[in-house]
């Protein structure tokens, strides 16, 4: 079952990704979307070694979500089953998965919310 902290972290990460995707201009140096006293949230995202997830490595390396108060921690997993188990157990907060994998998790009564970035 999704704990309140995992739900908040997942919602925060999803909101930040939407904000990053919809931003019309990058923040100037020294400008931040988060107040200086705001707490940073670490979001653990499960990914597999695939070229299609390269954007997450770039985002992590350049600390691109810091302006939204998010520290991205990538957790590399080797298979769909390992990734699903990590999400179900709470080892990761966000799972970057295909739709069919999300459906399999739902079929196992894993509490999850999906975010579709096709319209971002």
Determine, yes or no, domain membership for 55: yes
Q: What's the pLDDT at 79? A: 92
Look over the chain and give the mean of its residue pLDDT values, rounded to a whole number.
Answer: 77
For residue 34, being part of any structural domain is answered with no
pLDDT at 1 over 50: no
**What pLDDT, on a 0 to 100 scale, did the predictor assign at position 56?**
92
Tell me whether residue 49 is in a domain: yes
pLDDT for 119: 56
Domain residue limits at 94: 4-21+39-107
- The pLDDT tens digits of the residues spanning 7-16 come to 445 544 554 4
pLDDT greater at residue 24 or residue 100 = 100
- Percentage of the chain beyond pLDDT 90 is 42
Give me the numbers of helices (H) and strands (E) for the chain, helices first please: 4, 3
Cα 107 to the chain's mean position, in Å?
A: 22
Q: Give every CB contact of residue 48 below 8 A, 6+ residues apart in sequence.
A: 76, 77, 78, 79, 80, 83
- The residue-averaged pLDDT of 80-101 equals 91
Q: Check pLDDT > 70 for residue 89.
A: yes
Residue 99 lies in a domain: yes
Task: Flag whether 115 is in a domain.
Answer: no
Number of domains the chain is built from = 1
Strand partners, 109: none
10 within some domain: yes
Q: Which pTM value belongs to this model?
A: 0.64
Question: Counting beta carbons within 10 angstroms of the beta carbon of residue 120, is it exposed (0 to 12), middle (13 to 18) or buried (19 or more)?
Answer: exposed
Q: Is residue 26 part of a domain?
A: no
Please state, in angstroms and rounded to a whole number, the distance separating the CA atoms of residues 23 and 82. 34
Q: What is the CATH number of the domain that holds 56?
A: 3.40.190
């Amino acid at each position: 079952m999704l704990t309140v902290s995992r739900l908040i972290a997942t919602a925060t990460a999803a909101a930040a990704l939407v904000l990053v995707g919809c931003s019309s201009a990058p923040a100037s140096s020294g400008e931040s979307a988060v107040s200086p006293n705001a707490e940073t949230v670490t979001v653990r995202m499960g990914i597999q070694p695939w070229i299609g997830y390269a954007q997450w490595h770039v985002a992590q390396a350049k600390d691109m979500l810091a302006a939204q108060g998010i520290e991205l921690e990538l957790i590399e997993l080797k298979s769909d089953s390992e990734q699903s188990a990590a999400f179900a157990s709470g080892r990761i907060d966000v799972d970057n998965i295909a739709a069919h994998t999300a459906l399999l998790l739902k079929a196992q009564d894993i509490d999850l919310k999906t975010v579709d970035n096709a319209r971002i």
